[in-house]
Structure 1
Amino acid sequence: MSKNVLFIMCDQLRWDYLSCAGHPDLHTPNIDALAKRGVRFDRAYVQSTICGPSRMSFYTGRYVSSHGSTWNNVPLKVGEMTLGDHLRPLGVRTALCGKTHMAADVEGMKRLGLAPDSQIGALVSECGFEPYERDDGLHPNSNYGKRNKNYDDYMKERGWEDENPWDSVANSGEDDDGNILSGWFLDNSDIAARAPDEDSETPYITRRAMDFIRESGDSPWCLHLSYIKPHWPYIVPAPYHDMYPPETHLPVVRSEAEREDPHPVFGAFMEERVSKAFTNETTRTKVIGAYMGLIKQIDDQMGELMKFLDAQGLTDSTMIVFTSDHGDYLGDHWLGEKELFHDPSSRIPLIVVDPSKEADPTRGTVSTSLVEAIDVVPTILDYFDGAQVGHIIEGRSLLPLLHGERETIKDFVISEYDYSFRQARRRLGVDVADAKLTMLFDGRWKYIFSEGFRPMLFDLDADPDELNDLGGNPDYASECRRLEDLLFQWSRRTSQRTTMSDAQIEARGVDLSEAKAGVVIGFATEEEFRTALAASGSEQKE
């Protein structure tokens, strides 16, 4: 039986909103069951804390500063190899069902003569995935994003005549008088979506994933099942909308001291509209109830999906990766959304189920090894017995951890953020070129380099909630210098020479290629030249 991979990604799912990660009231038995079958990586971090660049790192196995897609809708440049590019030569059908947040490099494609509707053009436009069904989940009544015509048609078949059922049905509710209440507004988060559960986005895209698997037959495949939720709009169908009253919510993690003299960038993000909205306890309570309901709905769909794999006889041949593209502050640290580097934003759930017997020793364990989103691509490639191309892919395969061969694969993790697009930059008066943040976390110390400002520093051993920024404290100057040196060392990596590996360069030995071609430079005499050729094992032919 062929090997397969089911690469499942949620959008904006926090690492700690699963019962296997310790949430006391949000029970996720089906996701927990995955953790029991595989390894739950407890210290996994994204390469950027916003959808687009994070996903581009997931799909390329490369850091943000390497692939260059630094924010949402910044195109991934033509030529960046993605998961599908690595797998297709191995005969693996690599497809998408759901969200990518990919912005195609239209200008680059035009320059190279790649038609978007050609086979190659379609793959380049979709992060290298065959777009079985793309749905980025943002379809307001405007030209923003791509409408999913399949979902629109499905909803119309179900009797919804709305022009945009994604907006007015799946992501809106209604009051007792029949007035439509948009889920875009946070204070509507506690009402049920108009769509019944089976017609909402999460069950729909799960069924579409099942369609793909049925159609794939016995050929090996890698399916990226990418859920739109629990990303906003925070609204969920019955019965999930009122499952989680306030007493089930985790307490907010923030302190007044954080607002007294914050790092300038941190302070600027506290002033963002969404951050201020989450300081209102009524609003925050409504949102968290819906957020938990959306996660519970995903967990229920995981149960349906796993039963389907069992029925298809695919469970024992399918690697499962379950993760998220970033977290959600939900009011922690006086912030909404994501974007900065506290754990609620940068730390993600990551569960990997390797069905091979080699993974039996670690099954059901929790790994505290530092791992990154970029490690997913080399792990999948390794599972399909593909070559590890370290000059292209910057992540590292997790199979040595999954097979119990190693306890750690890296000493620190990196996350990068370009905040040039945000109002926070303008509020600070920072130039576009300088609106950069880079996090380095070594398992204890979280160091954030901020162009033009002092660094931020958190000691997660002494301060696991990250409430005390030590970056401006002179007592920790030496620690900052140590971490800055590590960051400088990382920044000097070779990341753009993707056309030739170190091994290929090493294999060339003494480089006399020019001399062999008759371009004789640096030799004083013909005798010296012939001696050098003979020593290299390739005497020039007469």
Structure 2
Amino acid sequence: MKPTNVLFILSDEHQHNLMGCAGHPVIKTPSLDALAQRGTRFENAYTPSPICVPARASLATGRYVHDIRCWDNAIAYDGSTPGWAQHLSASGVLTESIGKLHYKSDASPVGFRRQQHAVHILDGIGQVWGSVRNPMPETMGRSPLYDKIGPGTSDYNRFDMRVADTACGWLGEHAADDKPWVLFVGLVAPHFPLVVPQDFLDLYDPREIDLPLLHPSTGYVRHPWVERQARHMDHDAAIGSDERRRLAVACYYALVSFLDAQVGKVLAALRASGLDDSTTIIYSSDHGDNLGKRGMWNKCLMYRESTGVPMIVAGPGIPASKVSETPVSLIDIQNTLLECTGCEAALIDGPGKSLVELACAEDDVGRLAFSEYHAVGSESAAYMLADSHYKYHHYLGMKPELFDVKNDPEEMRDLASLPEYADVLAHFERQLRALLNPEATDAAAKADQDRLVQAFGGREAALRTGTPAATPVPVE
């Protein structure tokens, strides 16, 4: 294929199916819908880890979390493992970022020629308290993450508008470049706080919002690993009432529409700069959000609300209006960027493949996507494998889960204990153990985290160290 520019837009915490083009009956996302119509949407897309920093480290390198040992929100990507930005820059491709990256620091040699409005883990240390897992505190107390829910304009909202405006200006400045470039645009929405400008919240009446499914108050029994997460920090109890739950969901929907507006602004600037025919566009997110399902908020779980991500690719040579069932991952971004810009010599022999190649091929329904979690709120590792039909959760030391996501996309019915699915369950466990040693990986994560905790003065000191909530952004 002829080399193209690449505009890569990454949001934060966007649930995989919350787009009009994904069939959601309520959400309003005209810009993303139009992008999907121009290109290919992968309906089985996943994050390598359902928490920000590990997911972004895997995305940066095309490697799994256990390979690069960026286990949690205190162990961030620092450039020591070569990643796509380094490969592109070494190949002479102009590679810049605007917005949130969530690496170790802006001084880390990660490969970008320039970082504008960069956001990295706070003070280069992130959430040290979340590395205390061996043993884990029974509870961190009341969650403060959802104290503010409702209309307003947060620092995050202002930041995203600034990032989008800067990206628009960048595209105009580089419209006449004669060589391919890669621009990474990192937006924060729809990440909490669930505060959003009133005109977007007006799109969604909280009184008409359905309550999240499978709440424990209705008799649903959470998996023990998930229940332990809830005891560690109970966001749902902090939200409190059904009225606030509906408002929280409405605000999240509104933030998705706010995000869509920023994406639309950037894509309009791309068109105005005459770059549509020479640019590949990728849209995705670092992970999803539980959004109250099973009485859980935030991310950190193996269910699709948390591990699933939106994934749209559009541009020259990419099939239009296609929905692919091939399972894909943020791991696949690296080789996509290298292939699109003509850097085939730098293609990485790893788990990732080019999304352009996958979009143009017949659906590979048996391809596996993998995710893992070794971070805050988990006493033991959790692993996920999914093809286009089944999704398998392996919890170290606990019973597994198995879902038929083709026929049960909401993961309402766990099939793991049913005799007729024993062969499917055994197949996935074999595949998992061929990929890694679950027990040894859990031990390696805890050993690294124990060393980090000791470096910060031991358990009690570490529990008092690090940002207590979301990473702050630069304020004008």
Deviations 1:81-126 (A, max 9, x none): 111111113221111111111125xxxxxxxxxxx8xxxxx352xx
Number of the residue aligned with 2:460: none
Q: Is the counterpart of residue 202 in structure 1 residue 185 in structure 2?
A: no
Q: Is the counterpart of residue 463 in structure 1 residue 387 in structure 2?
A: no
CA distance in 1, matches of 2:270, 2:79: 35
2:370 to 408, 414, 418: 414
Give the 3 Å change call, closer, same or farther, for CA 261–248 of structure 1 in structure 2.
closer
The Cα of 1:65 is off from its aligned counterpart by: 1.1
Secondary structure of the 2:45 match is strand
Number of the residue aligned with 1:292: 253
Contact 1:440 1:487 in 2 (8 A): yes
Number of the residue aligned with 1:136: 119
CA distance in 1, matches of 2:349, 2:3: 27
Q: Is the counterpart of residue 236 in structure 1 residue 196 in structure 2?
A: yes
CA RMSD of aligned residues (A): 3.0
Number of the residue aligned with 1:534: none
Number of the residue aligned with 1:372: 329
CA distance in 1, matches of 2:16, 2:154: 29
Q: Is the counterpart of residue 88 in structure 1 residue 44 in structure 2?
A: no
CA distance in 2, matches of 1:259, 1:448: 22
Number of the residue aligned with 1:326: 287
Residue type of the alignment partner of 1:464: P
Residue type of the alignment partner of 1:479: V
Segment drifting more, 42-51 vs 478-487? 478-487
The Cα of 1:364 is off from its aligned counterpart by: 1.3
1:266 to 202, 217, 226: 226
Contact 1:375 1:396 in 2 (8 A): yes
Give the 3 Å change call, closer, same or farther, for CA 37–482 of structure 1 in structure 2.
same
Segment drifting more, 386-395 vs 80-89? 386-395
Segment drifting more, 206-215 vs 128-137? 128-137
The Cα of 1:63 is off from its aligned counterpart by: 1.1
| 1:205-224 paired onto structure 2 within 5 Å | 205-216=163-174, 217-218=176-177, 219-224=179-184
Contact 1:31 1:302 in 2 (8 A): yes
Residue type of the alignment partner of 2:87: H
Q: How many residues in Structure 1 have an aligned counterpart in Structure 2?
A: 418
Segment drifting more, 214-223 vs 31-40? 214-223
Deviations 1:43-89 (A, max 9, x none): 10111000111111111111111121111121335531111111113
| 1:83-232 paired onto structure 2 within 5 Å | 83-103=84-104, 122=107, 124=109, 127-136=110-119, 186=146, 188-193=148-153, 200-216=158-174, 217-218=176-177, 219-232=179-192
Secondary structure of the 2:150 match is coil
2:300 to 339, 344, 359: 339
CA distance in 2, matches of 1:480, 1:47: 21
1:399 to 353, 356, 369: 356
The Cα of 1:408 is off from its aligned counterpart by: 2.0
Deviations 1:181-218 (A, max 9, x none): xxx763542232278x9x82222110111233334451
Contact 1:412 1:442 in 2 (8 A): yes
Give the 3 Å change call, closer, same or farther, for CA 352–78 of structure 1 in structure 2.
closer
Q: Stretches of 4+ moved more than 4 A in 1?
A: 142-146, 255-261, 388-392, 472-475
CA distance in 2, matches of 1:241, 1:65: 40
Number of the residue aligned with 1:157: none
Give the 3 Å change call, closer, same or farther, for CA 250–365 of structure 1 in structure 2.
farther
Residue type of the alignment partner of 1:397: S
Which runs of no fewer than 5 residues in structure 1 stay unpaired? 105-115, 117-121, 147-183, 426-434, 493-542
1:439 to 365, 379, 384: 384
Give the 3 Å change call, closer, same or farther, for CA 194–343 of structure 1 in structure 2.
closer
CA distance in 2, matches of 1:408, 1:143: 40
The Cα of 1:393 is off from its aligned counterpart by: 3.7
CA distance in 2, matches of 1:235, 1:144: 26
Number of the residue aligned with 1:75: 76
Q: Is the counterpart of residue 451 in structure 1 residue 396 in structure 2?
A: yes
CA distance in 2, matches of 1:442, 1:234: 32
Give the 3 Å change call, closer, same or farther, for CA 390–440 of structure 1 in structure 2.
farther
Secondary structure of the 1:375 match is helix
Secondary structure of the 1:239 match is helix
TM-score by length of structure 1 reads: 0.71
Contact 2:211 2:246 in 1 (8 A): no
Q: Is the counterpart of residue 252 in structure 1 residue 212 in structure 2?
A: yes
CA distance in 2, matches of 1:75, 1:303: 30
The Cα of 1:410 is off from its aligned counterpart by: 5.6
Give the 3 Å change call, closer, same or farther, for CA 78–298 of structure 1 in structure 2.
closer
CA distance in 1, matches of 2:27, 2:365: 31
Deviations 1:16-67 (A, max 9, x none): 2111111222221111111111111111011100011111111111111112
Which runs of no fewer than 5 residues in structure 2 stay unpaired? 128-143, 438-476
Residue type of the alignment partner of 2:214: R
CA distance in 2, matches of 1:78, 1:300: 32
The Cα of 1:406 is off from its aligned counterpart by: 3.1
CA distance in 2, matches of 1:461, 1:407: 15
Sequence identity, in percent?
30
